[in-house]
Amino acid sequence: MSDIMDKKTQLLGQQHFSDEFLERIEGKYPDLLSLIRRGLVVSHKDLNFILDDKEKGKDIYIYTGRGPSSGSLHFGHFLPFFITKKLQDIFDAKVVIQVTDDEKYLYSNDNTKSVKNFQEMALENIKDIVAFGFDPDKTFIFTNTQFIGNLYEVDLQVKKHFTLNQIKHTFGITDSDNVGRISYPTLQMVPCVPKVFNGFINEKSRCLIPCADDQDVYFRLARDILSKMKVQKPSMLFVGYVPSLQTVNEKMSSSKPETAIYLSDSDNNVKKKIGRAFSGGKETVEEHKEKGGDCDVDVPLNILKYFISYNEYKDTYEKYKSGEYLSSDIKSKTINTLNEVKKIFIDNRNNVSDETLRKFVTLNK
């Protein structure tokens, strides 16, 4: 498994964190080091350039996003937004967050849903995102349907660099798909160009994009094209995958709701979902105590690891592996942890005033 992942990472041009890199950040960025050690972030592209720019006193900015395919984020989305907030603090950086209501409208197979429905889900998602504690003075959150006027000029320039063939093949679009699917991808690349956020982001700032590697396809193209447009290519930071409830080999995904636990789920729902999740425990308690649990395939453990400290995870892992902890112990620890995280999240969300929300969606603060 890890061999395959290593090869995949190399193929996609992602870089592991070398010892040299870890030494470079050790004294200066202990919180970044901790994200890496805990496996919350797993690889990168050109993160060195971000460190170089920070050393020279230059501004950088962070760009991430969300496709509002549901009215609530799930625990998989939790990771990139939690990390983006940390990065805002670590690098003292401005953040822009693209909410792609257009993308999800064009990709929805439910023809009863209108653009308005996706705009409404976008607003609910924005409230979720704000609950991660971003700085309202340094964070701009926008939906594509509303910000399109600002995106369009650069979008035209980016579009001119692509052929139909390139987009069709890269995104697996077929001749019977709607044409919106052909025109969408460049819009996700446009926020890598700082001048789009004129007045909020310094035009010379380098862009850093935290996301899981499912989004890398857009930014691989962006990195190529932007060099041709004489714009600095973005650096990337890849977060780990929170797995599906059915198997660690797939990610938790809102396009398959049965794989996911939503931040809007009730405590009882979380309990039920984790209760049914795929476990690495043995058939009987006796056998489990003798042979121990299979940590690599156990879904609750592989979700839990992102939400507890490294030391607590190591301890839990060892006790499960040795058979001291039963599958039911791992499940109840995961249920309690997720429900605690969810409670803090919901309290934060309920405390966001309309005025604060307005500040987040305003470009010129």
- By beta-carbon proximity to ligand TYM, the closer residue of 98 and 139 is 98
114-121 long-range CB contacts below 8 Å, 24 or more apart?
Answer: 115/145, 118/68, 119/143, 119/145, 120/71, 121/68, 121/69, 121/70, 121/71
- By beta-carbon proximity to ligand TYM, the closer residue of 53 and 103 is 103
- By beta-carbon proximity to ligand TYM, the closer residue of 99 and 335 is 99
Structure tokens at 209: 């994009």
What binding mask, one character per residue, do residues 92-121 give for ligand TYM by CB under 6 A, x or -? Answer: ------x-x--x------------------
Q: Write out 189-252 in H/E/C secondary structure.
A: HHHHCHHHHCCCCCCCCEEEEEECHHHHHHHHHHHHHHHHCCCCCCEEEEECCCECCCCCCCEC
Q: How far is the CB of 292 from ligand TYM (least distance, A)?
A: 27
- By beta-carbon proximity to ligand TYM, the closer residue of 296 and 324 is 296
Is 63 strand, coil or helix? strand
The answer to whether residue 66 forms part of the interface with ligand TYM (CB under 6 A) is: yes
Are the CB atoms for 70 and 39 separated by under 8 Å?
A: no
CA atoms within 13 A on the CB side of 358: 3
The Cα 116–Cα 14 span in angstroms is 37
Site size for ligand TYM, by CB under 6 A?
Answer: 24
Per CB under 6 A, which of residues 76..95 are in contact with ligand TYM?
76-77, 79-80
Characterize 245-259 residue by residue with b for buried, 16 or more Cβ atoms within 10 angstroms of its Cβ, and e for exposed. beebeebbbbeeeeb
What binding mask, one character per residue, do residues 142-181 give for ligand TYM by CB under 6 A, x or -? Answer: ----------------------------------------
Binding window for ligand TYM (CB under 6 A); candidates: 16-24, 72-80, 165-173, 355-363: 72-80
Binding window for ligand TYM (CB under 6 A); candidates: 153-161, 208-216, 227-235, 263-271: 208-216
Interaction site with ligand TYM (CB under 6 A): 63-67, 76-77, 79-80, 98, 100, 103, 188, 209, 211-212, 214-215, 239, 241-242, 251-253
